């Protein structure tokens, strides 16, 4: 069964303290892996798509990487405005567009 597991469930950082979020997945055939950010009371907001192992994408203080079994979201020198829940999702090869989401990591960055 296709599965996505994120860790840790919650992470508290001081402003400027870099860290990484993990997304482990098992899927019969990976078409792509997505990272989303979700703020309280809002819908998930798209951050990155990764297609193949070894690929990296960057946006401001965020960098996403992908291996054959997991993805990392690295946060460099985070700011309080980076506080949110970060969701990882995989799309398998059936091409229906269906995404399988992890349970998310809730990040709190303290000033």
Partner 1 sequence: DTAVSQTPKYLVTQMGNDKSIKCEQNLGHDTMYWYKQDSKKFLKIMFSYNNKELIINETVPNRFSPKSPDKAHLNLHINSLELGDSAVYFCASSQEGGLRPLHFGNGTRLTVT
Interacting stretch for partner 1, rule CB under 8 A, among 20-28, 36-44, 55-63, 74-82?
36-44
Asked if residue 64 binds partner 1 (CB under 8 A), the reply is: no
Q: Are the C-beta atoms of 3 and 68 separated by less than 8 Å?
A: no
Interacting stretch for partner 1, rule CB under 8 A, among 12-20, 21-29, 31-39, 63-71?
31-39
What is the DSSP track for 40-83? Answer: TTS--EEEEEE-STT-EEEETTEEEEE-SSEEEEEE-S--GGG-
SS3 102: coil
Q: Which residues bind partner 1 (CB under 8 A)?
A: 31-32, 34, 38, 41-46, 49, 51, 85, 87, 89, 91, 95-99, 101, 103-104, 106
């Amino acid at each position: 069964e296709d599965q996505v597991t994120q860790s840790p469930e919650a992470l508290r950082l001081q402003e400027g303290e870099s860290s990484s979020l993990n997304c482990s997945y098992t899927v019969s055939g990976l078409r792509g892996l997505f990272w989303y950010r979700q703020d309280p009371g809002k819908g998930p907001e798209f951050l990155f798509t990764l297609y193949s192992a070894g690929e990296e994408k960057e946006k401001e203080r965020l960098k996403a990487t992908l291996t054959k079994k997991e993805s990392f979201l690295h946060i460099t020198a985070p700011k309080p405005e980076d506080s949110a829940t970060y969701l990882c999702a995989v799309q398998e090869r059936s091409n229906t567009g269906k995404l399988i989401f992890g349970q998310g990591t809730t990040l709190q960055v303290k000033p």
